[in-house]
Copies of this chain bind each other. A is one copy, B any other.
């Protein structure tokens, strides 16, 4: 156990009043598409009708048909997922005591996989937090202590990861014109985002499935954000329920943004929006750049990798000698987007959301100048220049390049709406370049997932401190005291590509 003694307060799933009990044998009989039962946290559920509505596909469930699915289910589903998606009468009841004990016994005797052993060793050798002095250090540790499946989901990018890498390299074509002999004492790094105060011009970008990396998942982010005075954006696909995250806030005033993947069914989408507004979320970030499953090959290859890794050196080299079906190509990521509305338009969708909620609307995933202008015309309160961290369409322009083009071609955009960017931001200088070029704030997603995976809430706090220090130092070095003094003239786009991290 990572965090011995810690009990996370989940909302206990509700059950039908008259509960039956079942033996493992009884459950085991229901293992086909005709009748499919699964055990989750010692409860028995009939998921037969749900099989083909499951966003991740039926196959994933059928692997556990008639068996205990707890270990696979828990880290990637919020606690209210069964309530929300499964009619009460399908909550069949509980295992009997003997079965529960049998499962517990089996759990104890379970042989650890090689991946689990690797992680266990890595956790033992984890450096103390004080040794983490920059964002990349954090990522390095996380990549060691994360289970392979989680790592693959977090780190994978589209096709050949070129866009992911290019997002970062693009910052290497922007240099500063620092101004000296300017008073910088009392330099203030704070700003506002959609009117909400933020201690630094950085927010936690919506990123799904935080519990893959840490048992407390998104709650680490919520608490860390509070302690450091920044704002968290919560993903539609969070692994805690929206209510749990809302409850994790230190005070009801702590702002939360909601990253909306609009469901193709308007009624479902409406319900989701109303729920988060009621829970006190403060803005809707409508995600428009990841409506169809991207080709995240690392994620897709996870089953191949694990299989080979476990069998290394054994005679039987492979089990999956058959061509996988389409859904098996989705990986962890693909399953999340399968129900998205792929027919949204500026004319139809924005007014429809306005009709449901008073919350400000931000378009997340703008990738060309023209769409930035269209978002302004549609009255959006903000836009995020983003190619989804390079996880979707390969060769979508790096956000800092797009920002630069908007600054060159349509500077009026910055007067009409707040502009943010995300993708491969790792240094205070990256943040400052974006701000000089007109961005109001920047989002970091993976970095925060890594931080909470490696060190929980303390990691999140530490990460913000690192960024805060780097941003402050950068402002002082540029000769400014306030965020608003950062202007385009302080940045020059050069005609060469600077080197990547140089090892000394």
Contacts and interface: CB of A to CB of B under 8 A. Distances in A.
A394 interface: yes
11 contacts: A128-B321, A130-B320, A130-B321, A130-B323, A133-B301, A157-B504, A161-B502, A178-B368, A178-B396, A183-B345, A397-B492
B427 A394 contact: yes
Interface-central residue, A130, A156, A294, A396, by most chain B CB under 10 Å: A130
Contacts of A301: 131, 133
A236 to B, nearest CB: 17
A434 interface: no
A316 interface: no
Contact of A183 (B169, B343, B392, B433): B343
Interface string A151-167: 00001110111101110
A128 B318 contact: yes
Interface stretch (A26-34, A35-43, A114-122, A469-477): A469-477
A477 B392 contact: yes
Contacts of A328: 130
A342 to B, nearest CB: 5
A501 B162 contact: yes
Contact of A155 (B370, B473, B504): B504
A67 to B, nearest CB: 24
A395 B321 contact: no
Interface in A206-230: none
A292 interface: yes
A180 interface: yes
B368 A179 contact: yes
A363 interface: yes
Interface of A: 125, 127-131, 133-134, 155-157, 159-162, 164-166, 169, 172-185, 288-289, 291-295, 297-298, 300-301, 304, 317-318, 320-324, 328-329, 342-346, 349, 363, 365-371, 374, 387, 392-397, 401, 427, 429, 433, 462, 469-470, 473-474, 476-478, 492, 494-504
Given A128-B320, A181-B288, A181-B345, 7 more contacts: A128-B318, A133-B329, A161-B504, A174-B395, A176-B397, A184-B342, A392-B477
Nearest to A319: B128
B289 A178 contact: yes
Contacts of A177: 367-370, 397
A209 B54 CA distance: 47
A504 B156 contact: yes
A423 to B, nearest CB: 14
Contact of A292 (B157, B297, B476, B492): B476
A178 B393 contact: yes
A310 B473 CA distance: 33
B160 A128 contact: no
Number of copies: 4
Contact of A179 (B159, B169, B371, B504): B371
A395 B130 contact: no
Contact of A395 (B322, B345, B429): B429
Nearest to A292: B476
A297 B429 contact: no
B501 A181 contact: no
A269 to B, nearest CB: 15
A473 B294 contact: yes
Which 8 A-B residue pairings sit nearest by Cβ, starting from the closest? A177-B368, A393-B477, A183-B343, A130-B323, A180-B288, A130-B324, A161-B502, A160-B501
Given A183-B342, A478-B393, A159 B366 contact: no
Nearest to A476: B292
A83 to B, nearest CB: 30
Nearest to A402: B177
A103 to B, nearest CB: 32
B133 A397 contact: no
Contacts of A288: 180-181
A162 B394 CA distance: 24
A133 B297 contact: yes
A320 B185 CA distance: 32
Contacts of A169: 496, 498-499
Contacts of A370: 177, 179
B180 A367 contact: yes
Contacts of A394: 427, 429
A322 to B, nearest CB: 6
Nearest to A304: B131
